[in-house]
Amino acid sequence: RLMATPGIAVAQAKKLTNHMAEEACMSLKNAMSLLSDFDSKVAEDIIKSENEIDMYEDKLGTYLVKLSREPLSLDDSHEVSNLLHNIGDFERLSDHAVNIMASAKELYDKKLSFSDQAKSELKVLIGALNEVLEITTTAFQNNDVALAENVEPLEEVVDKLSERLKNRHIKRLQAGTCT
């Protein structure tokens, strides 16, 4: 029925994509929290969320493709195109959440641990990632281009920080101060 009023259909698709963004963001944050405190209930929630987000990507993607064939205003056509790109990105975030959760479970199951230094560095990295997630999600949901422009410089900082921390961690592994 919504196809008969494409403007409303686009708005509903955006609403569902916003929900998908929130779900992916929360799932990733939850996964990162498992690195310091594994909780099997949270791990189950991440898997449920991944399944839900996969379903959203599939059904919403199919819906958006059908919607793109309808006569749309230029703005609505642009929005549909953006949504098609973004749902894939949000689905990828939930995939990362599952991967992080699996790593956290492995650490927990094998009783491996980080040194205090590694824990401290990981906390800094997770804080930076959470900030990027918040800004990205807010910018997407509010269609705030100015806010979105803040993401790229932060992403570069996270990339450099991640590389430095990885190198330090390798040295700790080699020295036997981390397992």
At 177, phi and psi to the nearest 5?
A: -85, -10
**Alpha-carbon 9 to chain mean position:** 25
Q: d(Cα 27, Cα 23) in Å, to the nearest integer? A: 6
* Contact between 14 and 40 (Cβ < 8 Å): no
Token code pair at residue 62: 């199919």
* pLDDT for position 178: 84
* pLDDT for position 30: 97
- Look at residues 99, 135, 119 and name the one whose alpha carbon lies nearest to residue 25: 135
- Look at residues 55, 58, 53, 54 and name the one whose alpha carbon lies nearest to residue 24: 53
pTM of this structure:
0.88
pLDDT (tens place) for every residue of the chain, 179 residues total: 666 678 889 999 999 999 999 999 999 999 999 999 999 999 999 999 999 999 999 999 999 999 999 888 999 999 999 999 999 999 999 999 999 999 999 999 999 888 899 999 999 999 999 999 999 999 999 999 999 999 999 999 999 999 999 999 999 989 988 88
